A and B are shown apart, each in its own frame.
Chain A
Amino acid sequence: MNEQELINRIQLLKQVSPKEDWVISTRAKLAFRMEMERKKNLLNHDLFAFKELFSFLSISQPRLSFNAVYGVIIAFGLVLGGGAVTTLAAIQSSPGSSLYPVKLSIEKARLIASLSEESKIQVQTEIADKRLQELSVVVASQESAEQKAEKVTQVVDNIQEQLASASNQLPKVEPQKAVAAAKAVSEKANQFSKALATAKESLPSNIKPELDTKIAEVAETAQQANMKALETMIANQNSAEVKKEDIIARLNETIAKTQEQVDAREKKISEEISFADKLPIRAVLINQTEQSRELLEKAKQAILANDLTGALQFVKAVKAIEAGAEKMVKNADKAISDEAAKIQNQNATSSEAVNSAK
């Protein structure tokens, strides 16, 4: 037995690891202890300030000053003593609650404590289900649009994080488990896309434009997660767990969706950017649309020829073109509004000139 063989045998013992529940609960205890110490320090530090704050009372009513300071101490004591209850309450909390960020931290700890990529994805799927449930509760609630928007923002931020992280973990999952993980990620990505569309509809369009942007970003992340899942399935297409028909169905669905995006952009170019006929950007965008259509056609042909990897590459190329085109359309929108404002100003100046000439 050479040295390397010996080391390999020793390293088998690496499989000894603590239980996940214990890792999580110890982390929570540690975090709680830290928070308590921080609060105690704050209390000590602020005690002098509190005394100063209530010092005016000591001039006329010394007993009241004493009571006020102790009242504050008791309040802090209650906050500090309520740690365990707080943790339980945090787990039950919903978006908008001050304990909601604590709940997200506890979930994060659980995720960190997951020992394999597969179990990480499993935990993420559970978290994703919770977010979907929270989102549907917020959307169905009778709260004001602003309150809703605030809560949706909180949930959407976390959804984006979960999706991006789950799809990034896909390539690290063991090949035999990768397909199941990819399917789970893809399913959640689709559910999120639908839930976000519903959430968007439930809010007035003028409320929180940044939320609109955020939802669009998450939809994009969901699409990317779907693409990674599809990529994982195609990479493992020879595995017994993958049905070729399933991949083909998913590819066709992706092609159809991408086709819809290309059509929508083309419509936008012809309707809204017609004003910008003179802008060279219009020619570029039209050219890109043609390219996208051509590539989508090639993707369909590749599927017919049973070249699923090739088909995926064509779809990815179209996605890249569309992402670039989308940015150009946004820039064009800005250029058009600037141009329109300029023309309006010119017209106003000309009318004033004509009026004054009259």
Chain B
Amino acid sequence: MEKFNEQQFLEWYDQYVGKIYRYIYFRVGAAEAAQDLTSEVFLKSWQYLNSKGVNNPRAFFYQVARNLITDFYRQKDKLPISLEEIADKTFADNFADKKQEPGHSAAIALEMASIKKALQKLGGDYQEIIIWRYLDELEIKEIAEILGKREGAVRTLLSRALAELRKVLE
């Protein structure tokens, strides 16, 4: 087990905060909630891991994030917000901030909207596995660790998720 100190933990924060935020953002559908939950992931992880070691910090952060998302919906007593419900304004703000060329920005936004719509039609498990594998670039082994499944089962799930997404897009 890898031992760590405050400095190491902050380095993990720097490395993973963007990915954890994105994962939570797609799952909860609101930037503000995603920010709160992401902060909580790191605070809770620090409290839990303090003075202990961890084999795979990234997988651990995702596990904490997953549990927090479950709690979030349990407390709020509502169903996961579909990706379609993710405020377009947030996306617009996000890309306006980046000062990209208007044409380029619009084309990307359209393409993103289309893939968002397709993703929102998938089930939670399919959404999650696609985000982990292709956005956050987790290894199959890591996804298996987070989900507590065998690697073969994860591959099958991923392949079904992709097939479903392609079907929706087409």
Q: Give the interface of A toward B (CB within 8 A).
A: 1, 3, 6-7, 9-19, 22-23, 26-27, 29-31, 33-35, 37-38, 109, 112-113, 115
Q: Do A1 and B116 form a contact, CB below 8 Å, given A22-B35, A30-B46? A: no
A22 to B111, CA, bound (A): 27
Cross-chain contact B35 with A11 (CB below 8 angstroms): no
Q: Which one, A12, A14, A33, contacts B46 given CB within 8 A?
A: A33
Cross-chain contact A17 with B21 (CB below 8 angstroms): yes
Q: Do A26 and B42 form a contact, CB below 8 Å, given A10-B134, A13-B26? A: yes
Q: Which one, B18, B35, B42, B166, contacts A6 given CB within 8 A?
A: B166
Cross-chain contact B112 with A30 (CB below 8 angstroms): no
Cross-chain contact B46 with A29 (CB below 8 angstroms): no
Chain B residues lying within 8 Å of A37, measured Cβ to Cβ, are 50
Q: Which one, B38, B43, B94, B169, contacts A1 given CB within 8 A?
A: B169
Cross-chain contact A16 with B25 (CB below 8 angstroms): yes
**Residues 52-108 of B contacting A (Cβ, < 8 Å):** 91, 94-95, 97, 108
Whether a CB of chain A sits under 8 angstroms from the CB of B153 is no
Known: A10-B135, A18-B21. 13 other contacts (CB 8 A): A9-B111, A11-B134, A15-B112, A16-B25, A16-B94, A17-B18, A19-B97, A26-B39, A27-B10, A29-B39, A30-B39, A31-B6, A34-B9
Q: Give the interface of B toward A (CB within 8 A).
A: 6, 9-10, 13-14, 17-18, 21-22, 25-26, 34-35, 38-39, 42-43, 46, 50, 91, 94-95, 97, 108, 111-112, 114-116, 119, 130, 134-135, 162, 165-166, 169-170
A195 to B115, CA, bound (A): 53
Across the A-B interface, how many residue pairs have beta carbons closer than 8 Å? 91
Chain B residues lying within 8 Å of A6, measured Cβ to Cβ, are 162, 165-166, 169
Cross-chain contact B43 with A12 (CB below 8 angstroms): no
A113 to B13, CA, bound (A): 10
A22 to B90, CA, bound (A): 15
Nearest CB of B to A54, in Å: 29
Ranked nearest first, the 5 interchain pairs of A and B with the lowest CB-CB distance are A18-B21, A10-B134, A34-B6, A112-B14, A9-B115
**Chain A residue with Cβ nearest B108:** A12
Q: Which one, A13, A29, A35, contacts B112 given CB within 8 A?
A: A13
Nearest CB of B to A119, in Å: 10
A15 to B105, CA, bound (A): 11
Cross-chain contact B95 with A18 (CB below 8 angstroms): no
Chain A residues lying within 8 Å of B135, measured Cβ to Cβ, are 10-11, 13-14
Chain A residues lying within 8 Å of B26, measured Cβ to Cβ, are 13, 16
Nearest CB of A to B117, in Å: 12
**Chain A residue with Cβ nearest B17:** A23
Nearest CB of B to A203, in Å: 33
A113 to B10, CA, bound (A): 12
For this complex, 17 residue pairs linking A to B, each with C-beta atoms less than 8 Å apart, are A6-B162, A9-B169, A11-B134, A13-B115, A14-B135, A15-B95, A16-B94, A18-B17, A18-B38, A22-B35, A26-B13, A26-B39, A27-B13, A30-B9, A30-B42, A34-B9, A109-B14
Cross-chain contact B22 with A30 (CB below 8 angstroms): no
**Chain B residue with Cβ nearest A31:** B10
Chain B residues lying within 8 Å of A34, measured Cβ to Cβ, are 6, 9-10, 46
A85 to B107, CA, bound (A): 45
A27 to B162, CA, bound (A): 35
Chain A residues lying within 8 Å of B18, measured Cβ to Cβ, are 17-18, 23, 115
Chain A residues lying within 8 Å of B10, measured Cβ to Cβ, are 27, 30-31, 34
Chain A residues lying within 8 Å of B116, measured Cβ to Cβ, are 13
Cross-chain contact B38 with A26 (CB below 8 angstroms): yes
Nearest CB of B to A26, in Å: 5
Chain A residues lying within 8 Å of B114, measured Cβ to Cβ, are 9
A16 to B98, CA, bound (A): 11
Chain A residues lying within 8 Å of B166, measured Cβ to Cβ, are 1, 6
A37 to B26, CA, bound (A): 32
Q: Which one, B6, B35, B94, B112, contacts A12 given CB within 8 A?
A: B112
Chain A residues lying within 8 Å of B34, measured Cβ to Cβ, are 18
